[in-house]
Amino acid sequence: MTELLERIFLGAGASKAVASILANNCAACERDGSLSHGVFRMPGYVSSIASGWVDPKADPRIEDVGPAMVRVDAMNGFAQPALAAASALLIDKAAATGAAILAIRNSHHFSALWPDIEPFAERGLLAISAVNSFACAVPYGASKPVFGTNPIAYAAPRLGHPPLVADLATSSMANGDVQIAARECRALPRGYAVDGDGNPTTDPQVVLDSGALLTFGGHKGSAISLLIELLGAALTGGQFSYEVDWSAYPGAQTPHTGQFLILLDPDRGRGIEFAARTEQLIEQMFFAGLSRLPGSRRYERRAETMRDGIPIDAQELGRLERMAHDGAWQA
Amino acid sequence: MTELLERIFLGAGASKAVASILANNCAACERDGSLSHGVFRMPGYVSSIASGWVDPKADPRIEDVGPAMVRVDAMNGFAQPALAAASALLIDKAAATGAAILAIRNSHHFSALWPDIEPFAERGLLAISAVNSFACAVPYGASKPVFGTNPIAYAAPRLGHPPLVADLATSSMANGDVQIAARECRALPRGYAVDGDGNPTTDPQVVLDSGALLTFGGHKGSAISLLIELLGAALTGGQFSYEVDWSAYPGAQTPHTGQFLILLDPDRGRGIEFAARTEQLIEQMFFAGLSRLPGSRRYERRAETMRDGIPIDAQELGRLERMAHDGAWQA
């Protein structure tokens, strides 16, 4: 699947490095059952690239601005290659100082956040990341959208287990899930969204056309979404979600904003092992009746697909193969 | 009011430094209308100190563990004196590196978080802090409490205005508000709490005696509360909320856990002013129909009380004066 997706990205005009990173990312989402960020997203990637909105050959520019901070100008490219370019420096800084901040601007993030941070936790680091997106969520107490879906994710090392990874939109749901609901003609849950006049709606197409999501958890979720705008845009130097204006680029779907990431060296300065303590907390949660950790469905799905392969229906596969062929033909 | 509260703390056995910091903190909460952390909390402070559970003379020990990380052993004292002891070093580190982490363990935090971080934002820094507390909130999908109320707060500089400060419990509500509801015999909102068997309840006394709160915002709020346990305990070296065992100290009310704080120098490495960008976002939120920012009630209340004084009824004042007198007499 990675090879097929890579051909699509290359055919659409991506550089070899960008195509490889995005193909691996998208295939990993499909593998783990993160379907709203899997192959479902490929037409959006291709359409955004074709529109001229995002540069699929961009070469990110790294700015080493302090012992604990790295800025990256993604040069209007995707965020994942910018993160990949800065990763080694960021890890070095966290190891040297105890913590390191990555502030990516001028970037497009069109995937889940968990693939960005899981690798850091596999190295024993605690990672937290957030991106803003495009205005589609109404601040608590307001009537029009200002915030993006503004996901936040964290990954923590566990002793003897793959990392604990949580990834959550601070909107009531993810945009990808609204798109899937619209495609499948499924109503949204009540209390999740409003129409263009600020009235409640459960129609996903109305939300996509003229409405907006609410933030999760009332004023508290809204306060966290606000923090993510500050981190993803005001801190990075990127655009706020409401500043994204792709009207001159029909077909554009990727939010052109920013990404914030913090790495913490959790054992620095002492002998206690963070990963072992995390394990004690998780044991206590199961003791208290929990049956699933955040992210556990992804790991279960991953085990299944690594054993049995990634299921994909013939129609979807045909669509992807046509995209690879058309792009190659165009190129 | 600060002077009266300081006499109470001194009478209870606090050192001069601790008494001054806690009195200022508690009076500031009362001044700003943060009533669940105001003078209402004084009997809890005095009772906890009298029980021997917390050391009101503790001298925090600072560990400089890296260019971007400070650890503090609060030596079983209150968290605020530990923060005060580390503040200058932390600010220096953030200025030198771009970011700095403070990890306080072996500490008691019995107040709101906003007083801890507002001063950093007044200096142009972005501050985020979280504390865990004692097991009183049920993880989403579990039946028994594991997490504390686990508040998170942030403070961001604004151009031409006092900082934007949000402070929110990741439980459905704050423990102080449960206590106030119990005292005033008011029912809790539905869906906020469970009894000892995990069944829904609206009775605040049941919650305090044997029940528990839920986390806010379903599985998403629960994932954030889990992160706060990791930051407040696994990272700091403090206790998880479920590990707090004060059974040998009747009268103890202060959670003996940890505090996490991160300072970011948001303008580091570029000319764009974070505070000005924050202001643009806030303007857009008002344009979208917002009438109140997080924390705005506190600022309004502060303006009123700075002009008119802090209102306090005669009975409450008498109670405080008796506490000051009794403590002095005991000492």
Q: Is residue B271 part of a domain?
A: yes
Q: Which one of B73, B167, B177, B267 is the catalytic residue?
A: B177
Determine the pLDDT at residue B301.
97
Q: What is the pLDDT of residue B175?
A: 78
Contact at CB, B65 and A166, closer than 8 angstroms: no
pLDDT band at B331 (very low <50, low <70, confident <90, very high): very low
From A128, A216, A281, residue closest to B229, measured CB to CB: A281
* DSSP percent split of chain A into helix, strand, coil, nearest 5: 45, 20, 35
Task: Tell which of A61, A285, A296 to mutate to test the B interface (max B CBs under 10 Å).
Answer: A285
Q: Which residues of chain A are modeled with pLDDT < 50?
A: 331
> Which residues of chain A does B157 touch, with a Cβ-Cβ cutoff of 8 Å?
none
Q: Number of folded domains in chain B?
A: 1
Does residue A196 form part of some domain?
A: no
In a domain, B8, yes or no: yes
| Per-residue pLDDT, A270 | 83
Q: Which residue of B has its CA nearest to A136?
A: B288
d(CA A251, CA A249): 6
Nearest CA in chain A to B68: A97
Is residue A325 in some structural domain?
Answer: no
**Structure confidence at residue B174 (pLDDT):** 81
Query: Residue B62 pLDDT > 60, yes or no?
Result: yes
Q: Looking at the complex, report in whole angstroms how far the Cα of residue A3 sits from the nearest Cα belonging to chain B.
A: 34
For residue A142, which residues of chain B lie inside 8 Å, CB to CB?
Answer: 285, 288-290
Q: So what's the pLDDT on residue B180?
A: 86
DSSP string, B119-182: HHHHTT-EEEEEE--SS-EEPTT-SS--B----EEEEEEETTEEEEEEEE-SBSS-HHHHHHHH
Decide if B111 contacts B37 (C-beta within 8 A): yes
Integer Cα distance of B286 and B299 in angstroms? 17
Phi and psi at B157, nearest 5°, equal -70, 140
Fill in the amino acid letter for B275.
A
Q: What pLDDT, on a 0 to 100 scale, did the predictor assign at position B329?
A: 58
Measured CA to CA, the distance from residue A302 to residue B7 in angstroms comes to 61
CB distance A104 to A74 below 8 Å: yes
Extract the tokens encoding A34: 């993160």
Does A87 reside within a domain?
A: yes
B257 domain residue, yes or no: yes
What is the rounded CA–CA span in Å between residue A121 and residue A129? 12
Question: Mean pLDDT over residues B141-147, rounded?
Answer: 94
Return the biggest CA–CA distance within chain B: 58
Contact A133, A170 (CB under 8 A): no
CA distances from B110 to A188, B48, B206, B241 (A): 41, 10, 22, 13
CATH of the domain at A124: 3.30.1370.60
Q: How far is B75 from chain A (nearest CA, A)?
A: 16
pLDDT at B328: 59
Query: Which residue among A145, A146, A292 sits closest to B141, beta carbon to beta carbon?
Result: A292
- Judge whether B71 and B237 are in contact, CB under 8 Å: yes
* Residue A96 within a domain: yes
**B191 confidence band (pLDDT: 50, 70, 90):** confident
The residue-averaged pLDDT of B123-152 equals 96
Largest CA distance in chain A: 58
Q: What is the pLDDT of residues B210-232, one digit of tens each?
A: 999 999 999 999 999 999 999 99
pLDDT for the residue A179: 86
Question: What one-letter code names the amino acid at B138?
Answer: V
Helix (H) and strand (E) counts in chain B? 11, 10
- Residues ≥6 apart with Cβ < 8 Å to B303: none
Containing structural domain, residue B61: 2-171+215-295+313-330
Alpha-carbon gap, residue A23 to B70, rounded angstroms = 40
What's the complex ipTM?
A: 0.96
Least confident of A212-216, B194-198, B276-280: B194-198
Measured between alpha carbons, how far is B107 from B71 in angstroms, rounded to an integer?
Answer: 12
**Cα-based distances in Å from A66 to A11, A62, B265, B267:** 38, 12, 10, 11
Is there a domain that residue A202 lies in?
no
Q: For chain B, what percent of residues have pLDDT higher than 90? A: 91
